[in-house]
Chains A and B, each alone.
With several copies, the nearest count.
Chain A
């Protein structure tokens, strides 16, 4: 079994209203030391099999076809150890 993770965030420069609200919430709770907050999505995928290289190509296709909105979002792919 293989597990992969796609992290999706708004591109730099694209406004993240959610991050802003979370940031001010943290401040209100006294967590002044937080300087910046960005909120994004994480998608965990499980595959029966496949080498990382092969899976990466497949996941990249999924991202460009469906998972990610390239106009406003960036993504990174990670592979996870089996747990």
Chain B
């Protein structure tokens, strides 16, 4: 191949002309084709974070609780008892659009490996999904494929999927989002890192054999979808959750020995990125003999082996002289393994193919010397064209309420989470649908974690900075509603095409907003993921900086009949009093589900967030739960106070109760806006009548506005005299069947 052809070859791999010049300059020679493949993968947006790195530096990433910050396979926070929670979120957006089942399944596989590669046994997963409009032709297919893939993979591996979120919006018609999160637990001083140390130490490949699947996956995730995507389409990666389970057990078993120097899973850009990143962290090099790599297809070239994204594989640097443990354990678990190379002193990535050096690159070329861009930013013009919301009060408030409950973004997700094994591991204390965050007991302890994921991308579209803040705030509020204390976050920054200055403006704003909120809640960012080029035919998705948060309970006390010290969302019994903490501003209607479903408007701005009030409300709720004062707690989010009250009445198990609203309607100008605006920092709680005055005075002392909403009734009706009188069953029915049109 001549030099011009090489340049074209590089361009076809997404390496720009300037980038290619840079390679020539650093290398001082023309790269081989194999080397071009390696460079293109490592310099892809997906692996190099070249457009986002300058912004990500702004994140707060430290704190006394941080055990491992960004940069490793996953982050870790101290959860007490000598334990760490290890967690991360990953996107698998592009593969899932092409093949929803396998795309989502392999996304789950990848995030599980990111966590257990650190030595932590995964104890729970979440997912955050965005599909196109519910009536878009492709939505049902993508939806069922993705949900099926998450179920198929996670259930088989035996990690419970305990929560998540799903939104439908036309902005995702041509580019869905599939973000998956896993948390695991290990001793905080027994974390394994992806680092190559010790010159001469052997490098082992373990797991499944390498095939031709997913070659160029990383480059594909670094470009927009277009008509040509079809041709560039790599062989789809097919997940094998069974082998993942074996790999999980084998790795954890190996970790109990003292043979591992460093370990890392092969994710995007497979063997290349795992070896290069491990070498980079250890400031050493790695030499690989491609002919030793276990393969499952014939005649594979080094180029293909290096770029394959076959699933369920790991790379392990083992202490020399202790190699036997690999054979013993990986044979036992019926997995492939091979010593494929060694750690070398020169900081180079060397790959031999049939005795010849097919790739000989400085590690730094692939890491620190990779391009970084501070791409142009511009405030999007659409922001100035936004108009304030105009919405008339409905003739029939009850009817409007029922319709809102059936909205695809609000209705019950039971049909989804029933397909996920959310109980395996016998740790799920608060199940999906029961509370704002999932509560998972840590095996062998009385400790528990609360986890949640959130992002309202309409808010982010209206104002990326405020929207990102609101996402962090809602996560923290969800964690507080179950009684836990927020500890840290991971994120998936899903944005459009970074070559659009408007997208980079959104990105930068969102990162700054998130950072501000993370500092306020003392929840550092310990890991995360960036997914750019979420655009199709030049139309960018709504900015979607998804946040997943982990909180902890020091101890779950077993009381008579059930655990105490936490809360779920449902009302418990007749006569209990219902109190709203926080402030309702009926102008907070922009971006709301009510405005969208009734008037197809976005409005002008998202709800206003007061971080100090938010913190005070959350602290109050956490403290009252710890005191055993609260019977339930549920925040007001999508659909506002009305939907929250309805959900509290419906309850997770269908023991529908009712509510008598006792507020004076004369003080409220518009009941519909009062019920359905989406002011943040609000939590609905219920208490025994006897505890009401104590609770109200605590709120007063904490400087938190509180409103007594009314009284729980055994009669399953939501009654607000003169305003509303609805059978809970009507709301419940609408809620339950909101997604059924996807099955038609």
Contact = CB atoms under 8 A, between A and B. Distances in A.
| A touches B (Cβ under 8 A) | yes
B212 interface: yes
Contacts of A15: 211, 213, 237-238, 240, 296, 310
A69 B98 CA distance: 11
Contacts of A10: 238
A14 interface: yes
A21 B245 CA distance: 14
B243 A72 contact: no
A1 interface: no
A21 B101 CA distance: 18
Nearest to B233: A71
Q: Secondary structure at chain A's binding surface: helix, strand, loop or mixed?
A: loop
B92 to A, nearest CB: 15
A17 interface: yes
A13 B211 contact: yes
Nearest to A16: B238
A16 B211 CA distance: 11
A34 to B, nearest CB: 16
B297 interface: yes
A24 interface: yes
Nearest to A72: B236
B213 A14 contact: yes
A14 B240 contact: no
Contact of B99 (A17, A24, A69): A69
Interface in A20-71: 20-21, 24, 28, 69, 71
A69 B101 CA distance: 10
Contact of A13 (B235, B239, B242, B243): B235
B240 A72 contact: no
A17 B744 CA distance: 18
Nearest to B237: A15
Contacts of B211: 13, 15
Q: Which of A15, A16, A24 has the most CB of B within 10 A?
A: A15
Contacts of B310: 15
Nearest to A71: B99
B334 interface: yes
Given A71-B98, A71-B99, A72-B99, A14 B238 contact: yes
Given A69-B99, A71-B98, A17 B212 contact: no
B48 interface: no
Given A14-B236, A17-B242, 6 more contacts: A15-B211, A15-B213, A17-B243, A71-B99, A71-B233, A72-B102
Interface of B: 98-99, 101-102, 211-213, 233, 235-240, 242-243, 296-297, 310, 334, 744
19 contacts: A13-B211, A13-B235, A14-B213, A14-B235, A14-B238, A15-B211, A15-B213, A15-B238, A15-B296, A16-B238, A17-B239, A17-B243, A24-B334, A28-B744, A69-B99, A71-B233, A71-B236, A72-B102, A72-B236
